[in-house]
Amino acid sequence: MISFVNDYSENAHPDILNALIETNLEGNVAYSGDEHTERAAKLIRKKIKKEDAEIQILMGGTQTNLIAACAFLRPHEAIIAVPTGHICIHETGAVESTGHKCIEVKGCAGKVTPQDIEEACGPQHWDHAGILCVKPRMVYISQTTEVGTVYTVNELRELRQICDKYNLLLYCDGARLASALDCSDVTLLIMAELCDAFYIGGTKNGALFGEALVIINDSLKNEFRYIAKQRGGMLAKGWLLGLQFEILMSNNLYERIGKHQNEMAKHLKKGLIELGIDFTVDSPSNQLFPILKNSVLDKLNEEFAYEIISVIDEQRTGIRLVTSWATKKCDVELFLKRLKEEIYHE
Amino acid sequence: MISFVNDYSENAHPDILNALIETNLEGNVAYSGDEHTERAAKLIRKKIKKEDAEIQILMGGTQTNLIAACAFLRPHEAIIAVPTGHICIHETGAVESTGHKCIEVKGCAGKVTPQDIEEACGPQHWDHAGILCVKPRMVYISQTTEVGTVYTVNELRELRQICDKYNLLLYCDGARLASALDCSDVTLLIMAELCDAFYIGGTKNGALFGEALVIINDSLKNEFRYIAKQRGGMLAKGWLLGLQFEILMSNNLYERIGKHQNEMAKHLKKGLIELGIDFTVDSPSNQLFPILKNSVLDKLNEEFAYEIISVIDEQRTGIRLVTSWATKKCDVELFLKRLKEEIYHE
Amino acid sequence: MISFVNDYSENAHPDILNALIETNLEGNVAYSGDEHTERAAKLIRKKIKKEDAEIQILMGGTQTNLIAACAFLRPHEAIIAVPTGHICIHETGAVESTGHKCIEVKGCAGKVTPQDIEEACGPQHWDHAGILCVKPRMVYISQTTEVGTVYTVNELRELRQICDKYNLLLYCDGARLASALDCSDVTLLIMAELCDAFYIGGTKNGALFGEALVIINDSLKNEFRYIAKQRGGMLAKGWLLGLQFEILMSNNLYERIGKHQNEMAKHLKKGLIELGIDFTVDSPSNQLFPILKNSVLDKLNEEFAYEIISVIDEQRTGIRLVTSWATKKCDVELFLKRLKEEIYHE
Amino acid sequence: MISFVNDYSENAHPDILNALIETNLEGNVAYSGDEHTERAAKLIRKKIKKEDAEIQILMGGTQTNLIAACAFLRPHEAIIAVPTGHICIHETGAVESTGHKCIEVKGCAGKVTPQDIEEACGPQHWDHAGILCVKPRMVYISQTTEVGTVYTVNELRELRQICDKYNLLLYCDGARLASALDCSDVTLLIMAELCDAFYIGGTKNGALFGEALVIINDSLKNEFRYIAKQRGGMLAKGWLLGLQFEILMSNNLYERIGKHQNEMAKHLKKGLIELGIDFTVDSPSNQLFPILKNSVLDKLNEEFAYEIISVIDEQRTGIRLVTSWATKKCDVELFLKRLKEEIYHE
């Protein structure tokens, strides 16, 4: 079975597994007080050119998002996000479990727009007492988004501007940041310039697990670690996280992983287009959303794994194909070949 | 200044104030263990013909809704509601502060429809792990709704049916239940037949304050009072709540208050229609939502108070006019007279 | 039945009931935006000589304490209190329900001591990662305490000093502040000088209900009302709270109520001492804790109500007698007379 | 530097690292729906002879404890624990962050006693309304305890009995269960017979990370995974957890690790006793708590790492020495040799 189900089906990039073995008996200090974590932080700070950025590597995306909500917001403050945002739909209400409301805005192609924020923060005629509505305080975006699209630098600058207008924090979920860095004009440097905080995803980019939260805004740094610990987010063997990001941030491994993901996806996309396949979303990143005939899918099911996203109509289904650091070109080609056969066979 | 701002601008119905004075030195048992509360509960149980209904009188609507969410739901369970629902827009995220997500559905005229529930509970192709989305568990409705509309018995029966299909609780916010009982075919008996829990609003219907939560579903009753206390909802002098509902539930006072509210509203509505006024919503209850010219409103502002709801266009504004137990017919007529003058004067 | 069960068995002081009637149809602005609330705040600010104190009148003690915890603390911050503190034992874990831990310290006669704070905040050898223990941030005291004792000005000054040393907030629960103001050297002025926030209790001092939270520390004021609303603490008819405190804070009513409570208690205490009765705590305020023989209590039960606090041994029980603004001297004397008879009869 | 700081200073047992490498490209199903997790669960179920036990492997101890509190308890229910319990002192208030109070009982040698539970659950004269105190619902114990002691089967049976009397859940934190299984008469079978839920610790017993929560009580199983996800406890690559426990539960590896930990600790303890060293607690497990002279410690500091637990007096300090699967006999002997030299040198 060849899998395009997601980008977290393998354990980890070999460089990371090797590092785990080489360091096995080092005897590191617990709770992220170790040298690997320090080196990973330095490597990230160097890439973003922010000497005083706070780096805290947590275990997973949901955990990172909920701890950020919990640590960055006061109880009555809310997060603006699009309905397809991971926090809105795929985290079992983790943000709400910390007491904060998500204000869902329409968005466009999975992205929050300045207009969305304007509507959420503009005059609320109905709040006649000035305290009846939650207070929007943070904008949640993802790069890439859940539907594979990416923000451009200009789009991010516009969001930053309107965030400043309404005194909002800009927070970016970077679960698939490697792919985004490769297929957009947004660099880590830009992320650090425009976001108050963001995370560099590890789980979906070759790490066993781990997401490196980068806190730029000074007012968000204070005693963050207490809250991470309280919510179960401090790994006792924190150096395992540090070590992985030390590897990912060295020798352009993170960038190379993003590049490979996208190359495989581009190859796949090109082939799909040549076969006349439509897409529910036009994605430049490592997630593709083609629409296939059910009769064709029935045939491919035995050899290939993917995720079903939506029922288009009685004959067609929207699926998702994801490429990872471990995706092989031959597998992409085999998929395209078999798809072609089934289409022509119809 | 004559006020149509809301139905909670006066202290309380005179019968209630009198009762407070007459019972002043009785020396009642604290925390709702008193005889007034017991009598109020009996009166309510008699009206709904449910001997074993649990009645708990709390202090306000937001408090009642948040305690219900907290007591009735497990952490991952969510509430379905329309965006204009009080819990969604006017309670500063109180439900979310207890950790629960509100799933906003489109609705129709401020009411949740079976189709809404079907969409929220039907197959979720995206929850590929079966645990990534919150679990819908309660439907929140209001009778009357925030926009003045009411559910019919048939509509409630349909909701009940689909709630049963998806194992959902049906909870009704009755902040303005007196008005609804008067202008719909839904009786207290029907409420108790079809809802798992609902509250009979006091604050907006002549009480100083207080909402009587009626719990019908046995599985929701257990140790509810602990949770009410934990969330600050148990009034030390609980008999103050019991006493008020004892009065409201006696001699048809509650029904008479609803009738008066609606009579005043009907009178007002008839006059507005005669003047050719449009409405943003067609409401049969004690809240009216007329659209008036800004130039006219500017003139009326000195004599009359009301709430601005929405900007229709550059010339017109949607306002809300609310009648209460204390609204006088002469005031309604004065408003209509002055409005007529201003319109003709234009 | 003559009751010494507590100081909240009556509805309210007649002046307050009268005010409710006189203002019934005024038509006040909702959510504490009214003039009574403004006047009450001014009267309090004048008494404490703090022009910029934030006054927010909430509905009950548990509610006030939980909203204060919620608004004043970050998630990992904890409250230091004695085990008999109301938040530790009598609020069904309301503070914990907002996510904050109460650190219980030994205390002395129901009071937190500087030594307690020193122990709670001093070096913690066990927190080897510097984030494993919650961070003490607020000291919770009550004036009077749950066991009827009072802090002196000197004791409060010492607490303030050690709070400053460890960057702790000092918060005082004033549920029975009227009695405390009468029997200690601590004035409202001193309270405002030494506490970051405190509340002036209404429920137990002649109000129907209501506690006036006084926030002195500027850093605690911001957007407090949002959080009060979110936790169900904003009464729609907020002026009912304002009005009551306007009355209580005028014409020395609050002070007179405290004085009467204490005079009745002193009269009772003197009589008990003359009968050779022991006490579990020596209280100068309106709560007395005598130890009586079970055989004697069995006789008094028919005529008098009180609360059982502790089993001393097989023959004796510790009870609590509380006096209120409504306690009559003749009732105190009747109790003493009947007690004397029963003791001599033994 | 030879470390006795803790039992989680190494990455993982070599068998586990090897398994990670061998399975790297398997392409497992996400969110614990994989075969390794299923096999790990089967192995555990076989050891405890409970076919229907629910097994959920989470990432760390604090996370497991907080998710258990969150999933097993209603909002007003509290946990009984000793002050040295991990949840009370070393989890930054994680349990309280889920809204639940920890009731601290005195305990004996780090263990909860039946008498403690009796006192916490017996008659509470002060809860005059029956809802003012939190409701004890779960007893939290650890095996081994934080101070290295272990419960015997008889002690566990007594706890179970009193838990049944008061309708309490018995929950055991097994962070160091491997050591406990080796040095007590309590087997996994007994754990499953007497506890409602417990976890088998991985992090401190050779795993990279991971704790296998075993839920025996049927009423606690329902929809547990939703809550685990909501609190950030579902690892996307859940098979990483399953794989590790598959290894640990095979070929007696878990038992062998416990045995080695204890053999090293016994060797160390024997040597310390021969040198006349006192202990703050008499521990049979892999944590030892000797009291050493500061002058001696000053000398050992350069070669050996350990944790300081308590200041005994001006001359002496209580330290903790922990042995792990990776502790070497020669290192224990070197420590004893150097200690002997320093003691004699004095």
Domain check: are B244 and B276 in the same one? no
Q: What is the C-alpha separation between B122 and B59, in angstroms, rounded?
A: 36
- Cβ atoms of residues C314 and C292 within 8 Å: no
- Could you list the residue range(s) of the whole structural domain that residue A265 is in? 2-6+255-345
Strand D278-281, strand D211-215: pairing: unpaired
- Please report which confidence band the pLDDT of residue C13 belongs to, taking 50, 70 and 90 as the band edges: very high
- Cβ atoms of residues C259 and C323 within 8 Å: no
- Neighbors of chain C by Cβ distance (3+ pairs < 8 Å): A, B, D
Domain check: are C219 and C325 in the same one? no
Cβ atoms within 10 Å of C342's Cβ, excluding its own:
18
- Please report which confidence band the pLDDT of residue A213 belongs to, taking 50, 70 and 90 as the band edges: very high
Q: Average pLDDT for residues A130-152, to the nearest whole number?
A: 97
Q: Quick one: pLDDT at residue A125?
A: 52
Longest Cα–Cα distance in chain A: 66
Q: Quick one: pLDDT at residue D127?
A: 79
Nearest residue in C to B62, CA atom: C232
Domain endpoint, select from A218, A235, A253: A253
Domain endpoint, select from D253, D269, D301: D253
Residues from chain C contacting residue B232 (CB–CB below 8 Å): 59-60, 62-64, 66-67, 94, 231-233
Give pLDDT tens digits for C202-215.
Answer: 999 999 999 999 99
Q: Quick one: pLDDT at residue A127?
A: 78
Cβ atoms within 10 Å of B106's Cβ, excluding its own:
11
- Neighbors of chain D by Cβ distance (3+ pairs < 8 Å): A, B, C
* Stretch (H or E) spanning D212: strand D211-215
Domain check: are C240 and C265 in the same one? no
Domain check: are C341 and C259 in the same one? yes
Nearest residue in A to D13, CA atom: A24
Total number of domains in chain D: 2
Q: Answer whether residue B123 shows pLDDT above 80.
A: no
Q: Quick one: pLDDT at residue C124?
A: 64
Say yes or no for a CB contact (<8 Å) between A226 and C131.
yes
Q: Quick one: pLDDT at residue D128?
A: 77
Q: Average pLDDT for residues A324-334, to the nearest whole number?
A: 98
Q: Mean pLDDT across chain C, nearest whole number?
A: 96
Q: Quick one: pLDDT at residue C264?
A: 98
What are A252's two structure tokens? 């352009």
Q: Average pLDDT for residues A60-84, to the nearest whole number?
A: 98
Distance from CA of D289 to the nearest CA of A (A): 20
**CATH code for the domain of B124:** 3.40.640.10
Say yes or no for a CB contact (<8 Å) between A97 and D59.
no
Domain check: are D68 and D178 in the same one? yes
Domain check: are C78 and C218 in the same one? yes
Q: Which residue has the higher pLDDT, D287 or D123?
A: D287
Q: Is C302 exposed, middle or buried (0-12, 13-18, 19+ CB in 10 A)?
A: exposed
Q: Quick one: pLDDT at residue C304?
A: 97
- Cβ atoms of residues C3 and C304 within 8 Å: yes
Q: Quick one: pLDDT at residue C125?
A: 52
3-state helix vs strand vs coil in chain B, percent to 5: 40, 20, 40
Q: Answer whether residue C268 shows pLDDT above 80.
A: yes
Give pLDDT tens digits for A92-113.
Answer: 999 999 999 999 999 999 999 9
Task: Tell me the β-bridge partners of A244.
Answer: none
What letter represents residue A229's amino acid?
K
Distance from CA of C115 to the nearest CA of B (A): 30
Q: What is the C-alpha separation between B263 and D252, in angstroms, rounded?
A: 81
Of C76, C225, C230, the CB nearest to A226: C76
Share of chain A above pLDDT 70, in %: 99
Q: Report which DSSP code applies to D108.
A: B
Give pLDDT tens digits for A170-183.
Answer: 999 999 999 999 99
Q: Answer whether residue D124 shows pLDDT above 90.
A: no
Give pLDDT tens digits for C167-182.
Answer: 999 999 999 999 999 9
Give pLDDT tens digits for B142-169.
Answer: 999 999 999 999 999 999 999 999 999 9
- Please report which confidence band the pLDDT of residue D209 belongs to, taking 50, 70 and 90 as the band edges: very high
Nearest residue in B to C93, CA atom: B230
- Please report which confidence band the pLDDT of residue A123 belongs to, taking 50, 70 and 90 as the band edges: confident
Domain endpoint, select from C192, C223, C252: C252
CA atoms within a 13 Å half-sphere pointing along the CA-CB vector of D262? 22
Residue A31 to residues A207, B55, C59, C106, Cα–Cα distance (Å)? 19, 50, 43, 32
Q: Quick one: pLDDT at residue B122?
A: 82
Q: Average pLDDT for residues B47-67, to the nearest whole number?
A: 98
Domain check: are C153 and C26 in the same one? yes
Domain check: are A280 and A195 in the same one? no
Residue B104 to residues A88, B31, B161, Cα–Cα distance (Å)? 11, 35, 20
Sign of the CA dihedral running D328, D10, D61, D223: negative
Cβ atoms within 10 Å of D215's Cβ, excluding its own:
25
Q: Average pLDDT for residues C20-41, to the nearest whole number?
A: 96
Q: What is the C-alpha separation between B136 and B77, in angstroms, rounded?
A: 6
Q: By three-state DSSP, how is residue A329 classified?
A: helix
What b/e string do you get for A252-283 counting C-beta neighbours within 10 Å, with b at 16 or more?
ebbbbbbbbbbbbbbbbbebbeeeebeebbeb
Domain check: are B19 and B142 in the same one? yes
CA-based nearest residue to B65, from B231, B264, B296: B231
Q: Quick one: pLDDT at residue D326?
A: 97
Q: Mean pLDDT across chain D, nearest whole number?
A: 96
CA-based nearest residue to B79, from B120, B108, B130: B120
Q: What is the C-alpha separation between B90 and B319, in angstroms, rounded?
A: 17
Give pLDDT tens digits for D161-177.
Answer: 999 999 999 999 999 99
Q: Quick one: pLDDT at residue D129?
A: 84
Residues from chain A contacting residue D27 (CB–CB below 8 Å): 1, 3, 9-10, 305
Q: What is the C-alpha separation between A29 and A240, in angstroms, rounded?
A: 11
DSSP E strands: which ranges in B61-134? 77-81, 102-104
Domain check: are D131 and D249 in the same one? yes
What are B236's two structure tokens? 């030390």
- Cβ atoms of residues B70 and C49 within 8 Å: no
Three-point CA angle C262, C263, C264, nearest 5°: 90
Residue C173 to residues A40, C145, D231, Cα–Cα distance (Å)? 48, 9, 34
Domain check: are C45 and C77 in the same one? yes
Say yes or no for a CB contact (<8 Å) between A227 and C75.
yes
Q: Mean pLDDT across chain A, nearest whole number?
A: 96
What are D160's two structure tokens? 């179970």
- Cβ atoms of residues C178 and C7 within 8 Å: no
**CATH code for the domain of B324:** 3.90.1150.10
Domain check: are B97 and B156 in the same one? yes
